[in-house]
């Protein structure tokens, strides 16, 4: 079989954008030569709709501009695909976790990969490589990650055997993140495992964003697939503002097409977030109500009951707005508010989300409240303040809490406040969406609620975590001879209705990346639109050195959040929660 190749200019090891070669790179995804290169077993915790042949996603050419890419690329690739490989469609999947010695890799990525293997969702021929600067052997990596692997799904038998089989597929390579030579050595090891088959390679960048481009450059020039696909999962944060995010995207796209970049926001993989479109578009009872005509306000609330604890140095560079609001909460908002997409195709859904973001007003400083937790004594225990963290500067103004009011300028949502609230060291841990409906016009029973008409409104609550559930608050008559009204919940508690444990968000997102399903990943224009909404307010906060309002560790946050809500005649829905 004839192969075609492209010549790649040499690149220096510098990570600056000016030194990045703009020429076509071997990392750019090539045309899959065999439409049945990878198949999945039928057995899976996911529906058979999701577990499809790779051919369904990759039988067409993936490029950023619609032009055909070369069939083969990469220097020093002497592998020739035999006719036997053509007829059998033999292929292999290589997953490389860059930053394998970090907490995210140990606690989330490796356990998610094992869960996929345990459920039969990975192809038969796969290998997992850890890559980091730390010097480790294969056995030391296996020992490190084995303590975090669990057979939590149904606690089925033969857990130990499955774990042993998975660990045998895990290997380690130590190297520098900016060393082409080290990635060339990694490439040799990957080829040994791939044994001349069609190689599909997935890189997960579990590393700080300042070394993203170094890793992509080195892997591009030395460790991309010659005959299959190569994809890269990038963890947030995607920059600090519009300018830095745009620069990062431009640098990555000198080595990757947009279709190869999988910007992960693990909240999009949460079961209840993925259920948002199902709840709305497949239930007639909700779709007609999903507009300004019936909805008074929407609240997106995120809270953690712990402080920075060990992450102070990292967190202080970003703050709660960049860490939670600009990505997690804004992504949920876009999914919630989008118009009905043409189809469930990834591009159709992501295009509708972009329309929502472009219809929104940029966040104004007067619509933002920021806070920072302080030390507090409670129950004989002392809780440290944010600036008590030794990794945080003593006079840091970085907010650990923020509340914001945002608006969408379109016919469906005009005038409806979307309130966001996120904070650390609060009284509880949770994430939820609260939809407060309008008052009933001419309510016959308003006297039963005295003067507090808010108690007479319906509320839909989607609890993302913990104790996943959906409940609708309605007005109901209390049984008895009198006419006394009560607010009751129609409750769908997932652990009661669906006793099987819900897969972790990383499992779903990793499987989607392997399958080439981009629906739950963030597109570059979507990222640009998101930063355009927050960058002006962020710059003003920092330039004016706005002092955050202090709130005690373990409290409900600063009082200013309540004034912000009342400004738009809104009461935070979680105030009545324990």
- Catalytically active residues are 328
- Residue 417, CA distances (Å) to 7, 360, 377, 497, 568 in order: 54, 11, 36, 33, 7
Handedness of CA 170, 173, 174, 178 (dihedral sign): negative
**80 contact partners, CB below 8 Å, separation of at least 6:** 1, 3
The tokens describing 239, both together, are 């920059």
What's the length of the chain?
A: 578
CA 263 to CA 509: how far, in whole Å?
A: 10
DSSP code, position 453: G
Phi first, then psi: what are they for 384, rounded to 5°? -75, 150
How far is 194 from 541, CA to CA, in rounded Å?
Answer: 51
Max Cα–Cα distance, the chain, nearest Å: 87
Helix (H) or strand (E) run with residue 241 in it: none
Closest CA to 254 of 215, 308, 216, 294: 216
Cα separations (Å) of 340 from 292, 293, 346, 360?
16, 17, 13, 18
Strand pairing report for 376-378 and 381-383: antiparallel
Sorted by sequence, the CB contacts under 8 Å of residue 134 that are 6+ apart come out as 101, 174
Whole-angstrom distance, CA of residue 421 vs CA of residue 430: 11
Q: Is 555 left (phi over 0), alpha (psi -120 to 50) or beta?
A: beta
User: CA-CA distance, 367 to 76, in Å (whole number)?
Assistant: 57
Looking only at the bridges linking them, the beta strands covering 230-235 and 459-465 are unpaired
3-class DSSP assignment, residue 445:
coil
């Amino acid at each position: 079989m004839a192969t075609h190749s492209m010549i790649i200019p040499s690149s220096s090891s510098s990570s600056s954008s000016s030194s990045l070669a703009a020429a076509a790179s071997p990392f750019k995804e090539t045309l899959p030569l065999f439409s049945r290169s990878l198949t999945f077993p039928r057995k899976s915790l996911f529906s058979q709709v999701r577990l499809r042949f790779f051919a369904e996603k990759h039988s067409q050419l993936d490029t950023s501009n619609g032009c055909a890419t070369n069939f083969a690329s990469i220097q020093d690739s002497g592998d020739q695909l035999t006719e036997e490989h053509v007829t059998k469609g033999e292929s292999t999947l290589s997953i490389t976790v860059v930053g394998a010695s970090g907490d995210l890799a140990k606690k989330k990525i490796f356990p998610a990969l094992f869960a996929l293997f345990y459920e039969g969702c990975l192809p038969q021929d796969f290998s997992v490589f850890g890559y980091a600067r730390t010097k480790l052997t294969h056995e030391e990596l296996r020992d490190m990650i084995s303590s975090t692997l669990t057979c939590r799904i149904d606690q089925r038998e033969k857990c130990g055997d499955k774990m042993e089989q998975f660990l045998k597929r895990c290997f380690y390579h130590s190297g520098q993140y900016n060393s082409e030579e080290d990635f060339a050595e990694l490439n040799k090891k990957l080829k040994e495992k791939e044994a001349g088959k069609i190689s599909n390679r997935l890189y997960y960048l579990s590393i700080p964003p300042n070394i993203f481009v170094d890793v992509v450059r080195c892997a591009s020039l030395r460790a991309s697939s010659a005959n299959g696909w190569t994809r890269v999962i990038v963890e947030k944060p995607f920059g600090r503002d519009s300018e830095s995010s745009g620069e990062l995207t431009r640098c990555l796209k000198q080595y990757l097409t947009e279709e190869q970049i999988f910007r992960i926001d693990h909240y999009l993989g949460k079961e209840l977030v993925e259920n948002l479109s199902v709840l709305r578009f497949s239930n007639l009872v909700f779709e007609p109500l999903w507009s300004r005509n019936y909805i008074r306000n929407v609240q997106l609330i995120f809270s953690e009951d712990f402080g920075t604890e060990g992450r102070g140095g990292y967190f202080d560079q970003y703050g709660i707005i960049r860490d939670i609001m600009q990505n997690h909460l804004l992504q949920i908002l876009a999914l919630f508010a989008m118009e009905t997409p043409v189809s469930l195709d990834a591009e159709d859904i992501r295009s509708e989300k972009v329309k929502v973001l472009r219809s929104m007003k940029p966040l104004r400083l007067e619509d933002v409240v920021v806070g920072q937790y302080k030390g507090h004594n409670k129950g004989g225990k002392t809780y440290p303040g944010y600036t008590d963290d030794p990794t945080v500067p003593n006079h840091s103004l970085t907010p650990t809490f923020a509340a914001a009011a945002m608006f969408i300028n379109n016919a469906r949502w005009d005038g409806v406040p979307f309130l966001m609230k996120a904070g650390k060291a609060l009284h509880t841990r949770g994430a939820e969406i609260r939809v407060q409906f309008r008052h009933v016009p001419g309510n016959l029973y308003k006297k039963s609620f005295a003067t507090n008409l808010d108690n007479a409104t319906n509320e839909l609550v989607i609890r993302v975590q913990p104790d996943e559930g959906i409940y609708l608050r309605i007005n109901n008559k209390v049984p008895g001879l009198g006419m006394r009204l009560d607010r009751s919940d129609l409750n769908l508690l997932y652990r009661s209705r669906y006793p099987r444990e819900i897969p972790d968000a990383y499992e779903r997102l990793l499987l989607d990346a392997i399958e080439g399903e981009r629906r739950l990943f963030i597109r570059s224009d979507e990222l640009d639109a998101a930063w355009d909404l927050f960058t002006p307010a962020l710059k003003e906060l920092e330039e004016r050195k706005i002092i955050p309002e202090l709130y005690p560790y373990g409290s409900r946050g600063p009082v200013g959040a309540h004034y912000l809500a009342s400004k738009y005649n809104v009461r935070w829905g979680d105030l009545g929660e324990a």
